[in-house]
Amino acid sequence: MRIVLATKNEGKVREIAQMMEGAGIEMLSLNHFAALPEIVEDGTTYLENALKKARTVSEFLGETVLADDSGLQVDALGGEPGVYSARYAGEGATDEENNAKLLAKLKEVPGETRTASFFCALVLYQPGGLYHCFEADWRGRIIDEGRGANGFGYDPIFLDPNFNRTAAELPPEIKNKVSHRGQAFAKFKDWLAAGRLG
């Protein structure tokens, strides 16, 4: 079976490939296709954005598509950056720019109250309009400066209290089990293993 990943983000592609290893599925990213329609992520929830990406790509390619929308929600900031996580510092912002903006907004917030969660909404969309959703979150807190070289996005400043390490310090095999995306993909793999994909 073949599934198209509705992303061009190579960090996300690598992470998903590791999580889906051994599932017997050929995974292709959008980097394998030309002339795709532009998808504006204008939903107010992660699920709306993931569904929009999955549906648009599936209808255009006629393929089964897997899309996720993920983000970071900081409690002291009322859930910011939320669905704007990838473009928190503006359209085309780098991970470093997004992290810098977040840390600047948290400058006066004490460390113990910098609680946050990563959230992932994963949607599998099949030609014909049938779709399935898988969601998960990962609780932690935001630290003062980045640590670690693994991962991408906000990983260097997101501390998992169970390991006392940032997401960027965790080995991929651990991160892919405990992270928001790892948990959502575990639900998806369990669903696949139960033979529910028609």
Q: Which residues are annotated as catalytic?
A: 69
- Give 26's strand partners: 2
14, 99, 107, 176, 181 from 18: Cα distances, Å: 6, 25, 35, 8, 12
Q: What are phi and psi of 101, to 5 degrees?
A: -65, -45
Residue 12 burial by Cβ neighbours in a 10 Å radius (0-12, 13-18, 19+): middle
